[in-house]
Amino acid sequence: MNNPFPLSLDNKRYQTWNYYLQTTFHTKVAKVPINAYFTCPNRDGTKGIGGCTFCSGQGSGDFPINPVKDLLLQFEQRKEVMEHKWPNCQKMVYFQAYTNTYAPLETLKQLYQPFVEKEDVIGICIGTRSDCLSQECIDYLAEIANKKEVWVELGLQTIHDTTSKQINRCSTYQEFEEAVQKLAKTNIKICVHIINGLPNETKDMMLETVKTLAKLPIHALKIHMLHIIDGSLMAKDYKQNPWPLLTLEEYIDVVIEQLEYLPQHIILQRLTGDGMEDILLAPMWTKKKTIVLNEIDKEMVRRNTYQGKKVKK
């Protein structure tokens, strides 16, 4: 097969985020991350304390300890960095750190609306949890989606509630699926985050997570490798009693098979995470993101496989 996966601009064998953006907006698009100083219900005592055990305390984003509070100023500062790398690129704003719908609707409107009205923002991406999406919030986001593209990024991590309990997610797979079904009734696009290599999860469990997601009305997936981050609750346990983490070869093997079970219409926004170098304890191979991606590409060629190969027609 000369062209095993046609939905690519750069010889990838899976549908990349760049392919989706280029074919949708016909230009380079950059996601500009901002920190709106939210918290999480498993951090403030509403459902739990301490947050997810893998979280460093800075949420899901790699932000300075004290970024500027003004969100528009944050956006402008980080936009300059993006434009230096990609001149004339279009921008999406990315509410990234913590749970970005965990507030009353009026508060959310005050935070989101300036970017809805901002002419140089073509889309809004919102990282959140499935148990923090009220119907009124979904309705409001659907209104925004009539004007600009809206992505809701749901941190699931795993479909296995036993693992979720162990890592202090304080949220269930059922809550996640209910949120997906509500979002799917709107024009909001859905991206799901999962983590490979969570404590006590087998390869079969990781594959089961993707096989289950493949049956849901989602638009994109982000796959991360578990990072042991200094300052996290998991790091404290790991220092006292280290356990085996996935090797680079094991991670590549899992990801490729996950891709094989994933329908071709689902976009892969990410295949590996960015470990913050100064606080990353393990695995150290995750620091070399480009190498990880290149090795995935090479192994897919060697196996002559591609996204969706094992999907039943």
- Over range 183-190, report the average pLDDT: 98
pLDDT surpasses 60 at 284: yes
Token representation of residue 45:
């005592």
* Rounded Cα–Cα distance for residues 308 and 306 (Å): 6
- What is the pTM (predicted TM-score) of this model? 0.95
What pLDDT does residue 246 have?
A: 97
Contacts of residue 182, Cβ cutoff 8 Å, sequence gap at least 6: 133, 135, 138
What pLDDT does residue 278 have?
A: 85
Taking Cα atoms as reference points, which of 248, 266, 199 lies closest to residue 228? Answer: 199
What pLDDT does residue 58 have?
A: 62
Q: Which of 69-83, 172-186, 212-226 has the lowest mean pLDDT?
A: 69-83
What pLDDT does residue 67 have?
A: 65
Contacts of residue 216, Cβ cutoff 8 Å, sequence gap at least 6: 177, 180, 184
Taking Cα atoms as reference points, which of 246, 156, 155, 166 lies closest to residue 202? Answer: 246
> CA-based angle 189:274:233, to the nearest 5?
100
* Rounded Cα–Cα distance for residues 71 and 265 (Å): 33
Helix (H, G, I), strand (E, B) or coil at 151: strand
Contacts of residue 78, Cβ cutoff 8 Å, sequence gap at least 6: 32, 33, 34
* Rounded Cα–Cα distance for residues 310 and 302 (Å): 17
Residue-wise pLDDT for 36-64, tens only, equals: 999 999 999 999 999 999 987 665 555 54
> CA-based angle 236:240:246, to the nearest 5?
80
What pLDDT does residue 9 have?
A: 85
Q: Percent of the chain scored above 90 by pLDDT?
A: 88
Q: How confident is the model at residue 138 (pLDDT cuts 50, 70, 90)?
A: very high
Give the CA diameter of the chain: 55
What pLDDT does residue 1 have?
A: 44
* Rounded Cα–Cα distance for residues 244 and 223 (Å): 20
* Rounded Cα–Cα distance for residues 63 and 125 (Å): 17
pLDDT surpasses 60 at 168: yes
Residue-wise pLDDT for 234-254, tens only, equals: 999 999 999 999 999 999 999
- Over range 205-217, report the average pLDDT: 98
What pLDDT does residue 57 have?
A: 67
Measured between its terminal Cα atoms, the distance across the chain in Å is: 18
- Over range 255-262, report the average pLDDT: 98
- Over range 225-230, report the average pLDDT: 94
> CA-based angle 221:61:106, to the nearest 5?
90
Q: Which of 4-18, 94-108, 281-295 has the lowest mean pLDDT?
A: 4-18
Q: How confident is the model at residue 2 (pLDDT cuts 50, 70, 90)?
A: low
Q: Which of 32-41, 49-58, 127-136, 150-159 has the lowest mean pLDDT?
A: 49-58
- Over range 132-160, report the average pLDDT: 97
Q: How confident is the model at residue 293 (pLDDT cuts 50, 70, 90)?
A: very high
Domains of the chain (ranges, CATH numbers) = 17-303 (3.20.20.70)
Mean pLDDT of the chain: 93
Helix axes 248-260, 203-213, angle to 10 degrees: 30
pLDDT surpasses 70 at 65: no
